[in-house]
Amino acid sequence: MLDLKVDFLKILFKHFPQIDLSVKNTTQNNFLHCIFEINNNPTYELIKFLIDKGVNINEENNDSSTPLHEFCHYCPNITKESIKLFFDHSINTNHISRFGYTPFHSLCIKQQETNFEIIEYFYSLTENKKKIGINNFKLLCSIQAKPKLITYCFALGTDPNLNNYERNTPFHNLCRQSPTFEMIKLSIEKGANLNSLDKSKKTPFDYICSGKPTIEILKFCISKGADLNIDKLAKSKSGKSYKKIRNNRNQRNTIIHNISRCSKPKIELFDYLSQDLKLDLKIQNFQNENCFHLLCKNQNATIEVINYCIKKNIDINTKTSHSGNALHYYLARRDSQYDFEIIKLMINSNIDHQMTNCQGENSFHLLIKYHNPSLEIIDYFFNNVFKATFDLNETFNEDDFSSFHQLCRYKNTTIELLDFFIQNGANINQQDKILNTPFHYICNINPCLEVLQFCLQNDPDLSLQNKDGDTALHLLVRMNEKFDYTDLFVKIEIKYFSITNNYIRNVFHNLCRNGDPHSRTIEYFLKAGLNPNDLDHFKCSPFGYFCNKYSNKTKNFNLNTYKLFFKNGADFNQKLSYGETPFHAICQFTPDVNLIKYCLIKGADKSIRGQFYETPKAKCLRKCRKKYPERIPLFKEIFNTNFNCLEIDFKHYFEKKEFTDFEIKGIKVHAKILEIRLKKKRNQIKEILENYSSEVINILLKWVYYDEVPSKETISLKNLKDFNQIIQTCFHDIEIENPKELTLKYSMKKLFYDENSKDLSIIIKDQEKQKKELKVHKFILQCRSQLFRKMFLSINNPNLTKIKDYSGKSYESLEIFIRYLYTEKINEKKVTNEIQEELNDVVEYFQLNPNCSFIFLL
């Protein structure tokens, strides 16, 4: 609540006298409208100050409400001084808002009993009292049976029989509120009509009987001519109809039926009807319902009242037009719990438990359909009532549900109940109209781990598909945040997880598409061979769905899950729907620094444009502008950083000209690197390059060392032609299947596995002090590690073939480290917690490129 002080406004106006209080907001509220809406306790001084400053008190907003309407509606602590202030400034008390209220109506509705003096004071100040709308229907229907205000309204001349367009009167509304005897008596004395019909053909007396009637109220109303509706609509014992009014849909219930539907039906009321009024309790309405049907439908009916009706020989087996007998009515109550003793009472009174309603449902079907029954009552019905002759697989409605289908649709179905059904012949593989089995419903609605384990012991057919092509397992993983089903899935053949539905989605698609999947489940599916890149009908893969859905759940963000996907072949750059990649989704939904760095290091392409021409970088920066503006400089730096440390190190190696051992036209180079990249011996290379200019050779060397491919935009056409001629000359006799085979990264990867060409051995002592060797190419250490570069410069021995390791790292850690120097990849499957701790120090110890640190810390 805004506590706006007058002193503050005075200071504000003193410094800013140009403030215009006549300005309205988008809902056409002026300053006073707004004050009353947000400050429900405005002071007299505040209102006076604003009125004196010229705020129009008769101005309308979009709801045609004046400030006085808002004041009466929103402010509970209205004072006489504030009301008089409005009247002193010529307020229009007759103005009607869009809702049909005058300010006086709003005042009566909101204040009512709590501030009755204000209502009287407001009325006393009004000059034209007839025009303030004392008989407004909405006002009278909003009074909610407040005795003092109703008495006051009647004293002012209110008509209790005033109709609105639905033919409701204030007296109808009063009777809906379960009024006291004094209220009814007062209304009738003022001329209220007990028998006037509203739009639904109900009288005020009908509402009284359906509420909280007492014998005193009934006697008084009947003495005043209330219509019991016996001789117009109902049927006699013989079934012959008396004179009817209007069509069947509008026919009314009798007093007997209305009493049966009241909030507290009592035996005394029925005694009064049958003994004092001599009414036949067996009488039926136009739907063939007698009072016993309606008592069974009434949630407040007690066993004593029901037993009373049975003893009165009311026919409990009468079948109504659509809902069966009284037992059907009792069991079809959706919002209430059944009373086992009432059911036993009706069964012992020989009610027809096998009777079916218009949908073919008997009492057992309804018990399962509308309730989550206990094992006790199920056993009672099955063994005592139906004598174990009931077919649990029989379908009973338009959906072809069996009782077992219906039972499995409850969230809290117990193993004991399922076991009872299965032991008595229920088929867990029976399909309904949309081809769902009971096990489909269990997986979709009641995915409790213990229940699922029990069901799997009873051999459900996991290959059965519904009309959408979904198996039970598709439905199970659809919303699986609560449970981790990995231990359950291990026991199921993997072929069932590969079944695709009508949208070409397997279980892995559904797992990643919905909910918050557990990483253990993802790991199991990936190790079992499910492809994270399989596309469905909408051209999206499991990994694509994971990035789109899971990335939104930043509170559960886990980088290890993305690493798990990548280890098992997930493609960050796979084109999905709208031409976007999983990396687009990551940048759009989860602009996490470590994750985006990881993706870029693993080869995610930041330049791919989707259907709407947005790159991952653009999506990331757009997200940051909305929610994380402080991260924008950091992400710009990350996206502009080259995480290909191999190319960076080789470029530095080329520019430094250290350890060169070969010269072409005065340009010093490393012969070993040229031989590896151009697939020729050094003499052949020299012979080929002698025919070209130094400028062309430099262009070639940039490609050799760090994959800089020239184009017609960067060099002349003659030099470009010469460069292409050199490449063709070097590789014309070599079969190249893929352009990637020409890249530096591919060449270094092949070199890693070439043991014969390695010219240096690193001697390592393991924990048992046994010597082990790691073979490596000397130029790789010179190029990538500043520590080794300094060491080789200080030793200055070109024939050096062995060195000792003094880092103190294990053989396993150094093996992973050496592999990274060649391939820019870490074999994460071999990385244990101990090795990870050692790798964390590798970058700093061997003085690698600082950008390498991130991948080791991952």
Q: What is the pLDDT of residues 326-358, one digit of tens each?
A: 888 888 876 667 788 888 888 888 888 888 888
pLDDT value at residue 856: 62
> Mean pLDDT, to the nearest integer, of 362-386?
84
Q: How confident is the model at residue 242 (pLDDT cuts 50, 70, 90)?
A: very low
Mean of the per-residue pLDDT values of the chain: 83
H or E segment to which residue 760 belongs: strand 760-765
Q: What percent of the chain lies above the pLDDT cut of 90?
A: 15
Q: Are 433 and 399 in contact (CB under 8 A)?
A: yes
pLDDT at 759 over 70: yes
Total length of the chain: 858
Sheet of strand 771-776: strand arrangement: 771-776, 760-765, 802-804
**Which phi and psi angles does 387 have, rounded to 5°?**
55, 40
Is the pLDDT at 552 greater than 70? The verdict is no
| Predicted local distance difference test score (pLDDT) of residue 244 | 37
**Strand bridging mode 662-664 / 771-776:** unpaired
The more confidently predicted of residues 788 and 177 is 788
pLDDT band at 54 (very low <50, low <70, confident <90, very high): confident
pLDDT of residue 234: 41
Is pLDDT above 60 for 525?
yes
Torsion-angle region of 202 (φ positive above 0: left; ψ -120 to 50: alpha; else: beta): beta
pLDDT at res. 570: 92
Confidence label for 246 from pLDDT (cuts 50, 70 and 90): very low
pLDDT confidence of residue 98: 82
Whose structure tokens read 């060409």? 757
Indicate the range of 163-167, 493-497, 505-509, 721-725 predicted with least confidence: 163-167
Q: What's 191-222 look like in SS3?
A: CCCCCCCCCCCCCHHHHHHHCCCCHHHHHHHH
Output the six-digit token pair for 307: 């037993």
Report the sign of the C-alpha dihedral through residues 108, 114, 118, 120, in that order: positive
Three-state DSSP at 775 gives strand
Residue 247's pLDDT is 34
pLDDT at 251: 53
Beta bridge partners of 773: 763
Mean pLDDT of 540-545: 93
Read off the pLDDT of each residue in 24-41 and give the average, rounded to a whole number: 83
Asked if pLDDT for residue 428 goes beyond 90, the answer is yes
3-state secondary structure 810-844: CHHHHHHHHHHHHHCCCCHHHCCHHHHHHHHHHHH
> By mean pLDDT, which of 21-25, 711-715, 722-726, 839-843 is the weakest?
839-843
Q: What is the pLDDT of residues 179-230, one digit of tens each?
A: 888 888 888 888 888 888 888 888 889 888 888 899 999 999 999 888 887 6
Three-class secondary structure assignment of 639-670: HHCCCCHHHHHHHHHHHHCCCCCEEECCEEEC
pLDDT digits (tens, 9 = 90+) for 280-303: 888 888 888 888 888 888 877 888
Name which of 598-607, 718-727, 842-851 the model is least confident about. 842-851
Residues 6+ apart with CB under 8 A from 839: 813, 816, 817, 826, 831, 856
Q: How high is the pLDDT of residue 277?
A: 86
Between 312 and 467, the higher pLDDT residue: 467
Are 365 and 403 spatial neighbours (Cβ–Cβ below 8 Å)?
A: yes
675-689: average pLDDT: 89
569 Ramachandran zone, left/alpha/beta (phi>0; psi -120 to 50)? left
pLDDT the model gives residue 767: 66
pLDDT given at position 737: 65
What are the tens digits of pLDDT across the range 632-652? 888 888 888 777 788 888 888
Do the Cβ atoms of 29 and 44 come closer than 8 Å?
A: no
The pLDDT, as a whole number, for residue 238 is 41
Report which of residues 157 and 680 the model is more confident about.
680
Phi first, then psi, for residue 309 (nearest 5°) are -65, -35
Q: Work out the percent of the chain whose per-residue pLDDT is above 70.
A: 89
Task: Give CA–CA dist 588/586, Å, rounded.
Answer: 5
Residue 775 main-chain phi, psi, to 5 deg: -90, 145
**Which stretches of 604-750 are assigned E, i.e. beta strand?**
662-664, 667-669
Domains and CATH numbers, the chain: 1-133 (1.25.40.20), 369-575 (1.25.40.20), 576-640 (1.25.40.20), 645-742 (no CATH), 753-857 (3.30.710.10)
Structure confidence by residue, pLDDT tens digits, 5-26: 677 778 877 788 878 877 888 8
The reported pLDDT for the residue numbered 136 is 53
CA distance 559 to 565: 10
Phi (first) and psi of residue 284, to 5 degrees: -115, 150
Assigned token pair, 415: 């193993």
Res. 551: pLDDT tops 80 = no
Q: What is the mean pLDDT of residues 517-546?
A: 91
Tens of pLDDT, residue by residue over 647-681, are 888 888 888 888 888 888 889 998 889 988 888 89
* pTM greater than 0.75 (yes/no): no
Residue 235 pLDDT more than 50? no
